Amino acid sequence: MNNIDNIIEYIEGSNDYIVTSHISPDGDNMGSTLSMYYFLNKLNKNVYYVLDDNSPQNLKFLVEGIKILKSDEVDIKDYSIIALDCGDKKRICVSEEILDNAKSIICIDHHASNDHYGDINYIDIDASSTCELVYNVLKRYSDSKSSNIIDEEIATCLYTGLATDTGNFAYSNTHPSSFEMAKNLLILGAKRDNIIQNVFQSNPYNYYKLLGEALNTLEIVDNKIASIEVTKEMLKRNVINFNDVDGITSYTRDIEGVEVGILLKEKKENEVKVSLRSKNYVDVSAIAKEFGGGGHIRAAGCTVYDSVPNVKKKVLQEVLKSI
Amino acid sequence: MNNIDNIIEYIEGSNDYIVTSHISPDGDNMGSTLSMYYFLNKLNKNVYYVLDDNSPQNLKFLVEGIKILKSDEVDIKDYSIIALDCGDKKRICVSEEILDNAKSIICIDHHASNDHYGDINYIDIDASSTCELVYNVLKRYSDSKSSNIIDEEIATCLYTGLATDTGNFAYSNTHPSSFEMAKNLLILGAKRDNIIQNVFQSNPYNYYKLLGEALNTLEIVDNKIASIEVTKEMLKRNVINFNDVDGITSYTRDIEGVEVGILLKEKKENEVKVSLRSKNYVDVSAIAKEFGGGGHIRAAGCTVYDSVPNVKKKVLQEVLKSI
């Protein structure tokens, strides 16, 4: 039996579940957890969605009417945990007590760093998203019953994770199977326009005013490195939250000829969050690591405790070694 | 016989062609024209790619090694014109002489405003892109010969038009068939990462400097309309071509709560190109039509002959009627 069949067999044989994911939820995290929640509900299982963190503003539309519980709100026994999109057992966003008392952990994930910590694991690091793996499970289940289990709600959740984790089909993890999945989800009623508008097309007006200011700081070094600055004064002046401007990093990477893009985001005096992106060959996670941060080869970050000009100088020095 | 079969029969029976499209080329314009050019070449036809306009910078990768001719460089007799992605005979970007002397015009297009001006027409206003229609022609041709005619080059052209006209699968014209097409084109070797980097991630540094200036003009009217201005001085100061800034329109539409986004782009004194986008319910092609332009429900354009402030006033008045 393969892992998908193991998971389906386990789910059919057990009754009580907690579904959860990693801290700092994103679209794939919430899309995969919520689709599993709906699936278990449809099978008349007893299921709780538990996550000790808040949903980002642009994903709130997905969980309207859904109660996401904190760990201390759950009273459940003899339960299994289904951990979705969580590459590291330590990042599962429930209390240690809930984690320790679970009779089993089922892990469905696509992170390369996943060490197969579950009792049953369905890990595919080539998959576009964890939502693509949940889709495979639900497809197999549907096929085995000769009846489709993916309704509009589930299709919308799965589409959200697929769209967010692939940069809406722009990243190289978009495979033919991802397009096949997108096609089927549209046919099954995924509310695509709603997803796109909420996730990608609902920036506040002030965000663009701040972007205009930030672009005035755009600088190119050696034709291959671009940096941009967002100071705490800019955030204050435009009434934008510190956590809501990370998307600006892409404006550095998306410049012709640029290999490494840097966003310097001032949190407070002498504390600068640095986001790094690369296009083709520089491993920015190694650069972030030099400053105590981390991440992926093409997207990483760190926090450096100094003024914006000094942090810029230090980070540029490090990036120049890799160019 | 349906229109696709008519076109295939015509192409097989005739030898000399000019392929062309509309003025102000975009990804679907160039992708569909170039894929038709390659197709005719593969059938050993005599074919010229004629367009009396310049390619935008971010699409130059597509036509490397291809000679796009101006009307006065062509010396050809007894030819047919294949006009791709051109909703209006007057916008076909070749000289009147070339147009008048063609023995036939074959029109392949997806613009709602198309009045079937061709001698053979294959118009589908529900199609994502003209590239999707060319794909249908080439698929039918391949099926009839039991041999696939779509090679890597053609797949790359068709993917480019599909990706650009759907906002990389974000717009509501992205149908299940569009995803099916994307899947097949990836399998057939479309150079997706190359397309994404060139089309969406290779803006010149100066483009972002200009974007910063343009964002300073961003204005919201009635919370539902956003406008942004690009003057000829901005273009000159930042050394950016008139044809290279249409993407800025999306910054107006992608604002929370905004239904209609307007880009006012000054070509010369008292000549302003207006790009219109809508999110949910306003038919911007109807607004563009009021000013002699056209397009689609969610994306349209027109040229208005007046100063930027006056054009803004006139267009806003018209948009306000639809809000």
Residues A214 and A168 in one domain: no
Residues whose CB is less than 8 angstroms from the CB of residue B200 and which lie 6 or more positions away in sequence, other chains included:
A170, A254, B58, B168
**CA distance to A24, B129, B226, B227, B260, per residue, from B250 (Å):** 28, 18, 10, 10, 10
> Both A178 and A51 in a single domain?
yes
Q: Which domain covers residue A310, as residue numbers?
A: 205-322
Asked if B166 and B49 sit in the same domain, the reply is: yes
pLDDT at residue B295 greater than cutoff 80: yes
- Residue where a domain stops, chosen among A143, A177, A200: A200
Average pLDDT value for chain A: 94
Are A215 and A291 in the same domain? yes
Q: Say which residue the tokens 């170039």 belong to.
A: B34
Question: Looking at this protein, which amino acid is placed at residue A163?
Answer: A
Q: How many CB atoms lie within 10 A of CB A67?
A: 8
Chain A residues touching residue B59 (CB < 8 angstroms): none
Per the structure, the count of domains in chain A is 2
Contact A172 B193 (CB under 8 A): yes
Express as a percent the part of chain A with pLDDT over 70. Answer: 100
Whether B117 and chain A come into contact, CB under 8 Å, resolves to no
- Is the CB of residue A262 less than 8 Å from the CB of residue A252? yes
B252/B134 same-domain check:
no
The enclosing domain of A248 has a CATH number of 3.10.310.30
CA distance B16 to A131: 50
- The confidence score (pLDDT) of residue A228 equals 98
Q: pLDDT-based confidence at B24, cuts 50/70/90?
A: confident
pLDDT one-digit tens code per residue, A292-321: 987 778 888 899 999 999 999 999 999 999
pLDDT surpasses 90 at A247: no
ipTM of the complex: 0.88
The CA distance from B157 to B30, in Å, is: 8
Query: Which residue among A175, A193, A215 sits closest to B209, beta carbon to beta carbon?
Result: A215
Provide the pLDDT for residue A1.
55
- Residues of A numbered 127-186 whose beta carbons fall under 8 angstroms of chain B's beta carbons: which are they? 168-170, 172, 174-176, 179-180, 182-184, 186
Report whether B102 contacts B71 (CB < 8 A).
Answer: no
- Report the length, in residues, of chain B: 323
Give contacts of A193 with chain B, Cβ < 8 Å.
172, 280
As a whole number, mean pLDDT of residues B256-260 equals 94
Q: Are residues A258 and A314 in the same domain?
A: yes
Find, among A55, A57, A50, A133, the residue nearest to A93 by Cα. Answer: A50
pLDDT band at A270 (very low <50, low <70, confident <90, very high): very high
Tell me if the pTM is above 0.80. Answer: yes
Report CB contact under 8 Å: B187, A201: no
Query: How many percent of chain A have pLDDT more than 90?
Result: 84
Within this chain, do residues B195 and B238 fall inside the same structural domain, yes or no?
no
**Same domain flag for B135 and B259:** no
Query: Is the same domain home to A192 and A251?
Result: no
Tokens representing residue B93 in the block: 């970007």
B281 touches chain A (CB under 8 A): no
CB A96 within 8 A of CB A119: no
Say if residue A11 is in the same domain as residue A137: yes
Q: What is the pLDDT of residue B2?
A: 73
Same domain, B14 and B136: yes
Q: What is the mean pLDDT of residues B237-259?
A: 92
CATH number at residue A23: 3.90.1640.10
- φ/ψ region of B2 (left if φ > 0, alpha if ψ in -120 to 50, else beta) reads beta
Average pLDDT score over chain B = 95
For residue B1, is pLDDT > 70? no
Same domain, A242 and A195: no
- The mean pLDDT value for B217-240 works out to 96
Q: Tens digits of per-residue pLDDT, B112-146? A: 889 999 999 999 999 999 999 999 999 999 999 99
